[in-house]
Chain A
Amino acid sequence: MGGEVFRRLIFLPVTLFFVATLVFLALRALPGSSIELLGSQFTTAGLKEQLIADLGLDKSIWEQYGIFLGELVRFDLGRSFLTGKDVSSMVGETLPVTIELAVASLVVMTIAGIGMGLLAGAFPGTLADGLLRTVSVLLFSLPWFWFGIVLIIVFVLWLGWFPAFGRLPSSVDYEAVTNFVLIDAIILGRFDLVVPWLKHVTLPALTVGLTTSGVLMRLTRVGVIETAKTDYIRTARMKGVPGPRVFFRHILRNVALGILTVIGVQFGAMLGGSVIAEVVFGYPGIGRMTVDAVLNRDYAVAQGGAIVIAAFYVLINLATDLSYRWADPRLRRGGR
């Protein structure tokens, strides 16, 4: 096992290097656009040239690449062309917001997916089973962004239960420490933050969580059905173990591992999903920051955001893989 883990860890910086290079090249394939966008605001010719020099855009692409990599290894992501803000600190503000949303979505996905899967798996072939499977397919087939908008229409416009926009109401004054609302609420003793935050996070989390719950639902369902057919379950039943106990103690435990893996893999997918949910709900996370920067051709912010999202994604996938090996001893021995 040690060898495999080592190999994956060695591969990590290589992957990140390629990711950074791809991001750098993609953003520079259309040269000068950012300056033209900015330049249209300046009428004096000298100002535009000075700006180009300040941003280092007059240098050759190789020089720019060298500077970019040099800064990257020092965790310096540069400054926003448009606002002059330090990209690293922008990432520091927006990444926790996205992680919060991804975790909240994961909670929704887990509850909905496992709940529907257990129910359908416990009664396969029945009307309830068919109904639940249809729901899971429906949820999967809905465009995420559109589902989010439908939730806004129903729960914000018609019922008025939740706010539609942002992460906290502007009336709340919040001095961030870690930028994680729940952690800050504990550190600062500001428990009044929790309810407004929950209200804001509910709809985006439902959007991402429900649309991704189908995979987990189907896996749980199949797991329950397959496990119920095994010899040891038949033995348990023949011994006279009561039905519910067989279900929860014997079947559920054996299905749990497969479920855990899927949850891990889906957590990575949540990051992609939250990009869209953040745009729909005006949620100030790193996905929305990156998309806005791309649309404005704010190179430094876009590449910083893209690299951080990709790096985070790679790390999560690695962690999932390792925890799977840890949880399943058979893989530990075989994975040498």
Chain B
Amino acid sequence: MPTTRADQHRFRLPTLTGALRLLPWLVVGLLIFAAIAAPLIAPYDPIKNVGSPMLAPFSPGHPFGTDGFGRDQFSRILHGLGPMMFVSVGAVALAVAVGGAVGLISGVMGGWLDWMIMRAVDILMSFPLILAAILVLVALGASTFNLMLAVAISQIPIFARLTRALAAGEVVRDYVMAARASGFGMLHVMVSEVAPNILRPLLVQATSVVAVAALTAAALSYLGMGARPPEPDLGYMVKEGQELIFIAPEQTILPGLVIAIFVLAISFCGDQLNEREGG
């Protein structure tokens, strides 16, 4: 029976074909545009009562109705997109930078330093991810920026381990041996020889992790540990809406749906990059 190449790989999403392959990129692009242009396209101030009744139903004036405080839900969702992207992309970028540096040192230097770093990573990974992030937020206080830091810290050990494995694989290659035999220092070997060769798989992996980071951040916001109200935050909006599900279930469904669409689109984009990488 015919199986495509894609079938043989683990953790592969259904392969999109033709024009459908462009869809996730379009969705992500549209969401980014909406996030940047939010102040221009949002019809109302996201944190002020707009003078309409509370929990107004969908209407041309309020495409997504109003929330329990009489605020325009469409404007709030638009303004919530930016923080969601800042937190998920920022957290992964930070985790790749820090985890990548640590993993690179560990993989290239080897020896006792490697052992120490990897045991520290083991300890950090012995925490459930969400618990580690909660503790960071407790220590730093709740805010959108700290939420980004918390998610980043919970991802650092994962990238440290991945980078170390990639780096350790490169160190034994001939070109690294040659560089070291030519008398180049360890720093040169790390930065100029090993790093460029492991960067691509690392970045491809990072794209997929953005989805996980977005979900983690949304969950923390839901628990009340992200942005401070009344700032618009999609995770917290689900929480606020949950208290009103008997009257207006759409107020909790919509913000969560937006998170889900973003995560899904990012997952598909990451997968297409993975495919090109031949992973």
A interface with B by C-beta (< 8 Å): 11, 15, 18-19, 22-23, 25-27, 29-30, 124-125, 130, 133-134, 137-138, 140-146, 149-150, 152-153, 157, 215, 218-219, 222, 225-226, 268-269, 271-272, 275-276, 279-280, 290-291, 294-295, 302, 306, 309-310, 313-314, 317
Contact mask for chain B residues 260-279; partner A; CB cutoff 8 A; 1 contact, 0 none: 10011001000000000000
Q: CA of A313 to CA of B3 in the docked complex: distance in angstroms?
A: 39
A25 to B139 alpha-carbon distance, docked (Å): 8
- Interface residue B61 (Cβ < 8 Å from any Cβ of A): no
Report which of A145, A222, A276 forms a contact with B10, defined as CB distance below 8 A. Answer: A222
- Residue of A whose beta carbon sits closest to that of B14: A133
Q: By DSSP majority rule, is chain A's interface helix, strand, loop, or mixed?
A: helix
In Å, the complex CA distance between A222 and B7 comes to 8
Point out the residues of chain A lying under 8 angstroms from B81, CB to CB. Answer: none
Interface of B is mostly: helix
Query: Shortest CB–CB separation between residue A290 and chain B, in angstroms?
Result: 8
Is B123 in contact with chain A by the CB < 8 A criterion?
A: yes
Is B18 positioned at the interface, with any CB of A under 8 Å from its CB? no
Chain A residues closer than 8 Å to B127, beta-carbon distance: 19, 310, 313
**What sequence of 0s and 1s flags, for each residue 2-46 of chain B, a beta carbon within 8 Å of any chain A beta carbon?**
111001111111100000000000000000000000000000000
Q: In whole Å, how far is A27's beta carbon from the nearest beta carbon of chain B?
A: 6
With both chains docked as a complex, state the minimum distance between the C-beta of A48 and any C-beta of chain B, in angstroms: 23
Q: Is B224 an interface residue (CB 8 A)?
A: yes
Q: Which of B119-161 contact A (CB under 8 A)?
A: 119, 122-123, 126-131, 134-136, 138-141
B245 within 8 A of A: yes
- Chain B residue, CB-CB nearest to A311: B126
| Nearest CB in chain B to that of A303: its residue | B135
Whether a CB of chain A sits under 8 angstroms from the CB of B86 is no
Asked if B135 and A141 sit within 8 Å, CB to CB, the answer is no
Q: In the bound complex, what is the Cα–Cα distance between A148 and B107 (angstroms)? A: 41
When A and B form their complex, what is the total count of cross-chain residue pairs whose Cβ atoms lie within 8 Å?
151
Check B218 for interface membership: any CB of A closer than 8 A.
yes
Q: Is B93 an interface residue (CB 8 A)?
A: no
CB distance from A70 to the nearest CB of B (A): 22
Q: State which size class the interface on B falls in.
A: 35 or more
Residues of B at the A interface (CB closer than 8 Å) are 1-4, 7-14, 119, 122-123, 126-131, 134-136, 138-141, 211, 215, 218-219, 222-225, 235, 238-239, 241-242, 245-246, 249, 252-253, 256-257, 259-260, 263-264, 267
Nearest CB in chain A to that of B127: its residue: A310
A309 vs B135: C-alpha distance when bound (angstroms) = 13
User: Most A CB atoms within 10 A — which of B13, B138, B235, B239?
Assistant: B138
Report which of B3, B129, B138, B224 forms a contact with A30, defined as CB distance below 8 A.
Answer: B138
On chain B, the residues within 8 Å of A22 by CB distance are 135
B264 close to A295 (CB less than 8 A): no
Q: Which chain B residue has the least Cβ–Cβ distance from A132?
A: B14
User: Are the C-beta atoms of B238 and A143 separated by less than 8 Å?
Assistant: yes
Q: Are A310 and B219 in contact (CB under 8 A)?
A: no
Are the CB atoms of B130 and A15 closer together than 8 Å? no
The verdict on A146 contacting B131 (CB below 8 Å), with A141-B267, A225-B8, A276-B222 known, is no
